Amino acid sequence: MPEPYLEHMTIIENASTSRPFTFDNSYARLPQQFFTRQVPSQVAEPWLIKLNEPLAAELGLDVEMLRRDGAAIFSGNLLPDGADPLAMAYAGHQFGSFVPLLGDGRAILLGEVIDHNGQRRDIQLKGAGQTPYSRRGDGRAALGPVLREYIVSEAMYALGVPATRALAAVSTGQPVYRESILPGAVFTRVAASHIRVGTFQFFAARGDTDGVRALADYVIDRHYRELKDRDNPYIALYEAACERQAALIARWLHIGFIHGVMNTDNMAISGETIDFGPCAFMDTYNPGTVFSSIDQRGRYAYANQPGIGQWNLARLGETLLPLIDADAEKAVELANTVIQQYGERFQIHWLRGMREKIGLATVEDGDLELVQSLLAVMQAQQADFTLAFRRLSDASGSGDGEALFLSTFREPDAAREWLAGWRERLTRDDGRTEDDRAAAMRAVNPAFIPRNHRIEQAINAAVDDADFSLFEALLAVLAKPYDDQPGFAAYMEPPKPEERVLQTFCGT
């Protein structure tokens, strides 16, 4: 009898035994300098905290199977068939300083699937272990930031703001060591792609124009197909990317969102909000609001976001110059024209949304001043941004809406005066009924946002007591942010003084 082959067999930790995904991994087919292949590290005791079943279904995944094996798959312990796990290379400006090599230090792209709408989506594990880009990091994520990203990214989706999505959260059963010892977790993120402004910078910084071109072609093919046949697709790409960011950042301002770390590596070329680290929603209106503990100088304050968007896009433009025109001077001129139009683009999106927030369907010259004067009163009288606009929705009629609106201001006199001017403007608006206007306003002025204190309460219960009920409740309320949901009225309320959260942390 021949010798048995048994002695040559090895146990493969990441054995592929399941096929719940139909992967088509286009990024893995790009040139090798784009990424490093890397399998996730094993974790001790994976437990599925949450599976986003509607999203899983939208992605064409086997939900039944994921209920059973989701803990193993979304922790990185079990690699699904067809996955081609890799860490992406990128660079980036962090708080204005350029770092030529960042890359996925704790994120691993499992692969891409085509969803039910025919859109290509990345599935990425965040906190799945070290990669060649980890530097001194442990490659891991703590439970708190994972829950925060889950809550906020799903809230953004429900609010109608382009954002990466949350597919799953898994606890690892392993500690992570930060300032204190925390429970570890892995977050599964779904994105139109994970390509960042910093990805372009990675190649440009190395003088690798072929790399920039390959990336730009890939991005056009994946995110900006309509530009493919343009005479100069690269300047068109730049223009379209600026347009998407202008629209996105305007949406952030409309809902009081503060990203917190708008480094160029945290700006997705797809136009989705990405990287929910120390992000937070503003309660009391103040354009200078900053929550992030590491943003000492307020670089990424609420009202600075449009300008920082332009700064980041200027860095993107620099990477595209050799593609835009062989004549360097001409390339700069073309790119400058585009970046100089960004301010106007932003202003158009912002004012359009603000008009909707105050219930205007028509356009008049004085509308900007009307909006600005409301914001000025809100700031002076410390009104809650979300609540004031929500209550304004009901203030055009004769009910108790006006009193409720006025009660969000410390001193109501200036707000009352503003209401008179607003009512006068409404007489010249289209002929909608009060009810119709109120309904339209409620559809853009959310009742529910992921308020910091609520997130913090949900995280504390989960981390301290393994109690996920507040996390679940918050997700349920935030899934319908524009509905009244009277049973959850308490979730509309701003924090009490003792509940106020003054700082948020990136959690890396």
Q: Which run of H or of E encompasses 35? A: strand 35-37
Nearest alpha carbon to residue 319 among 428, 237, 423: 237
Smaller CB separation from ligand AMP, 105 or 421: 105
Hey, what are 266's tokens?
């945290």
Partner from ligand AMP, Mg ion, none contacting 277, C-beta within 5 to 8 A by type: ligand AMP
How many C-beta atoms lie closer than 10 Å to residue 230's C-beta? 15
272 binds Mg ion (CB under 5 A): no
Minimum CB distance to ligand AMP smaller for 103 or for 317 = 103
Catalytic position from the list 69, 104, 122, 265: 265
Q: Is 277 annotated as a binding residue?
A: no
Residue with tokens 């010259």: 365
164 is a site residue for Mg ion (CB under 5 A) = no
Is 265 an active-site residue?
Answer: yes
480 is annotated as contributing to ligand binding:
no
Distance CA 254, CA 81 (A): 42
CA distances for 421 relative to 86, 355, 396, 415, 428, angstroms: 57, 14, 12, 10, 12
**Closer Cβ to Mg ion, 275 or 283, answer by number:** 275
Q: Where are the alpha helices (DSSP H) in 450-490?
A: 452-465, 469-478
Q: Which is nearer to ligand AMP, 131 or 310 (CB)?
A: 131
Which residue of 38, 77, 266, 457 would you call a contact of Mg ion, by CB under 5 A?
266
C-alpha–C-alpha distance, residues 5 and 24, integer Å: 34
Q: Per rule CB under 5 A, is residue 124 in the interface with Mg ion?
A: no
Q: Find out whether 160 and 482 touch, Cβ atoms under 8 Å.
A: no
Tell me which of Mg ion, ligand AMP, none is bound by residue 134, counting a contact when its beta carbon lies within the kind-specific cut-off of 5 to 8 angstroms.
ligand AMP
Find which of Mg ion, ligand AMP, none residue 429 binds, CB within 5 to 8 Å per kind.
Answer: none
Can you read off the two tokens belonging to residue 505?
């942390």
Which of residues 101 and 375 has its CB atom nearest to ligand AMP in the complex?
101
Q: What's the angle, vertex CA 221, arms to CA 218 and CA 225, rounded to 5?
A: 150
- Consult the annotation and say whether 275 binds a ligand: yes
138 is in an annotated binding site: yes
Told to check if 456 binds Mg ion by CB under 5 A, we report no
The distance of closest approach from Cβ of residue 275 to ligand AMP in the complex, given in angstroms and rounded to an integer, is: 5
CB of 312 to Mg ion, least distance (A): 13
Min separation Cβ 263 and Mg ion, Å: 7
- Residue 54 CB-density burial (10 A; 0-12 exposed, 13-18 middle, 19+ buried): exposed
Shortest distance, position 388 Cβ to ligand AMP, whole Å: 32
Binding site annotation covers 105?
yes
Minimum Å gap between C-beta 101 and ligand AMP is 9
User: How many distinct helices (H) and strands (E) make up the chain?
Assistant: 15, 12
Torsion, Cα 171 176 181 184, to 10 degrees, reads: -10
Minimum distance from CB of 502 to ligand AMP (Å)? 20
Among 275, 283, 384, 456, binds Mg ion (CB under 5 A): 275
The answer to whether 139 is a known ligand-binding residue is yes
Q: Which stretch binds Mg ion (CB under 5 A): 55-63, 166-174, 228-236, 267-275?
A: 267-275
How many residues line the site for Mg ion (CB under 5 A)? 2
What are the start-end ranges of the E strands in 225-335? 257-258, 280-281
- Cβ neighbours of residue 141 closer than 8 Å, sequence gap 6 or more: 106, 126, 127, 176, 184, 185, 186, 187, 507
User: What is the phi/psi pair of residue 366, to 5°?
Assistant: -80, 5
Considering the complex, state which of residue 295 and residue 394 has its C-beta at the smaller distance from Mg ion.
295
Is 298 a known ligand-binding residue? Answer: no
Minimal CA–CA distance to 185: which of 167, 173, 177, 201? 173
Q: Is 496 annotated as a binding residue?
A: no
End-to-end CA distance of the chain: 57
Binding site for ligand AMP (CB under 6 A): 102-106, 133-134, 137-140, 261, 265-266, 275, 277, 506, 508
- The item of Mg ion, ligand AMP, none sharing an interface with residue 399, based on CB under 5 to 8 Å by kind, is none
Nearer to ligand AMP, 124 or 381 (CB): 124
How far apart are CB 118 and Mg ion at their closest, in Å? 28
Question: Residue 106, annotated ligand binder?
Answer: yes
Q: Which residues bind Mg ion (CB under 5 A)?
A: 266, 275
| Residues tagged in the binding site annotation for ATP | 103, 105-106, 126, 138-139, 189, 196, 275
Question: Catalytic residue numbers?
Answer: 265
| Residues tagged in the binding site annotation for Mg(2+) | 266, 275
